[in-house]
Amino acid sequence: MTNPLVSKKWLLARMYQPNIAIVDCRFQLGSPEAGRMAYTESHIPGAVYLDLESDLSAPVGEHGGRHPLPDPEALAKRLGQAGISNDSVVVAYDDQGGMNASRLWLLLRWLGHDQVSVMDEGFAAWQKDGYPVTADQPVIVPSSFQPAVQPNLIADVNDVRSAIGNPEVLLVDSREAPRYLGDTEPIDAKAGHIPSAINAFWKNNLDAEGKWITEEQRRTGLSEAIEALESNREVIVYCGSGVSACPNIVALHSLGYSNVRLYAGSWSDWISYSENPIATGEE
């Protein structure tokens, strides 16, 4: 399987190879046009833009959370329109610590495409180090992307209900601690976490400069999840809407652990069912 994390230098050395597809995933919650505008102003040469909400999510409904999974066929069609085929080696980047790029990584693997990586550090670091940037729009040659959906990578609300208190499954909440504890909830209607879930804030995978920490440090930060996986337990990771959980899944894959599923609807889906239990405080 392709390394889920690659460096700026790795991409710089390969960016003009014909099978490399570079995808700009910058997006700002609360300012939905900011990412596309930033891409228009400056991006890595050859990069195409995919929008978190219009391309990498389905429309919001009663259930499914704030960023529901896109329809597989619709996503495959959009990938083809962006020039991405089943033969492409995809490298995704953003300026949000890899959060949105990791969402694309997860979605591509869900469609059966393993040749995808997240670029470490993001666009700002790329630009700061003097690597090439452009405002020119790439000439896109439409391609065909045939999805082969891997349902085992995704968990739904019923899977999570069954996981509560199940010694064979570990739930991992990727939000910051105050939201997990229920001390505050700036986005969703209810505060707290899914009962029996542990907390592993996704940004703990990054250092102060936004660079991914070493493998040893990642292993320490995700030790509870790794211990579960090494004991043949399943791990289901969630966050607020199925986006910021993805870096934790990338981190686990980078350490060789693949028996991990994303609860795609995450907390915003969980609380859309009035009967679902909510926990607060430490587990």
Catalytic residues: 239
Q: Which of 190, 265, 266, 257 is nearest to 230 (CA)?
A: 257
* Token pair belonging to 30: 């609360």
**Is the distance from CB of 264 to CB of 242 less than 8 angstroms?**
yes
Per-residue buried b or exposed e for 180-201, using 16+ beta carbons within 10 Å of the residue's own CB: bbeeebeebeebbbbebbbbbb
Residue 39 in contact with residue 49, Cβ under 8 Å? yes
Buried b (16+ CB within 10 A) or exposed e, 127-143: eeeebeeeeeebeeeeb
Report whether 213 contacts 220 (CB < 8 A): no
Q: How many CB atoms lie within 10 A of CB 213?
A: 15
Rounded-to-integer distance, Cα 229 and Cα 256, Å? 10
Sign of CA dihedral 263, 265, 267, 269: negative
Residue 204: closest CA among 52, 101, 97: 97
User: Which pair of structure tokens corresponds to residue 184?
Assistant: 């505050």
d(CA 36, CA 42): 10
Element spanning 74, H or E: helix 72-81
User: Which residue type is seen at 262?
Assistant: L
